[in-house]
Amino acid sequence: MPSQRLGRSSVVAIAFIVAAAPTWAHHGIGRFDPTRELTVEGTLTGLDFVNPHSYVHFNAIDANGAVIAMQCEMRAATVLRRSGWSPDMFVPGVAIKIHGRPHRDDPHYCYADTLTIGDAPTLQRYQQLGDDAPASRPARPFRLASGKPNLAGDWAQEQYIMARPPQGPANLVPESLVAAVEAGEVAMADVPSHGWFPPPVTLTAAGQAASDALRGLPPERNPRLSCQITSVLFDWVFDGTINRITQSDDVITMEYGRGLTRTVRMDAQAHPSRITPSRTGHSIGRWDGDTLVVDTVAFEPGSLAGAVAHSGELHVVERFTLDPETLALRREYVANDPVYFVNEYISGDTVLPADAPFAVDACKELAYEYQPAVSPPASDTRQ
């Protein structure tokens, strides 16, 4: 969209304020500077409602009177959708004001803490829109006609929202605990983990070397920060994704909101002798009472979570158990890797019937780190 020259009321007011750095969310703040603040105003020109981060675009005027095309980062499309946000809120041509954090390398980028769009009330980054009633989740029977627990449907972890306790830094907590944490009734130390970070595991020398290599990857090659799949463990709950399970006697299919599909073969007793390695691996399942046990091998080498690397010898066993009272689906898992791990990698997570429909939201790598290395002239007014 061509740049527009704006009135003086749209001057970019860049107030850099040194402040104590808050505790940043799961992605970290990347190349944005958490110690400085910025306020910028302009005219909204567009929106990329995508994962892993959405971006709002607008034209503003810098201190020298030149038009500058701004691109400010928001949360992922999936969690915005679950929070009641929609692309319809971002109407091109209306005024927009953003308070946030500047980018260390490019003044055209920012991290949005608050947004004011037109005459609408100011929005906080993690704000939940709609009434204050608990999220509406569809009623569902505990068992199928076959007598097996009903795992079919759309699933998502309870949203983790930024909460600010009376003392100490802000951090992500389950939506149901935000009020209690901010009132000081629940301590941050007692908040259940979202399970996005890897559990403790001791690495072999080979595992340490592979993990160091992962840690040294530039952002555009880091699956956690881009449109790549990390692992069947990490991507099940990371960043509030919505997943779908389709269930039959012979096959259970798990579709991840990040674009990964797993097939669990319920009619196989053992893995084939020759399997082409993949990100999903090869899964066979069985029922242990009311618990679904999924055994998976034949993974491509990669990352389990963050900088924890795994080899092609990774072996994962997951146990899915549906709570008959809450209908929460709990997953406990153990991963073994004789090449990279000295001990077992053990953790778990919980999802609920989803509060929004399953969808594989578009993913687009729009962060500054992914853009072509171009050095624009000083007078550049990006179109």
Domains annotated on the chain, with CATH: 8-129 (2.40.50.140), 153-157+194-353 (2.40.128.20)
Instruction: Note the pLDDT tens digit of each residue in 174-216.
Output: 999 999 999 999 999 999 988 888 999 999 999 999 999 998 8
CA 301/CA 230 separation, integer angstroms: 11
Instruction: Note the pLDDT tens digit of each residue in 19-33.
Output: 333 333 334 456 889
* Sequential DSSP letters for 159-205: PEEEE--SSS--EEEEGGGHHHHHTTSS-GGGSPP-S-SPPP-PBPH
What SS3 class is residue 221? helix
DSSP H or E stretch at residue 146? none
Instruction: Note the pLDDT tens digit of each residue in 270-326.
Output: 999 999 999 999 999 999 999 999 999 999 999 999 899 999 999 999 999 999 999
Calculate mean pLDDT across residues 102-111.
Answer: 92
pTM, to two decimals: 0.84
What SS3 class is residue 208? helix
Instruction: Note the pLDDT tens digit of each residue in 217-240.
Output: 876 677 666 788 899 999 999 989
Give percent of the chain above pLDDT 70: 85
CA 73/CA 24 separation, integer angstroms: 14
Structure tokens at 108: 């055209």
CA 247/CA 222 separation, integer angstroms: 33
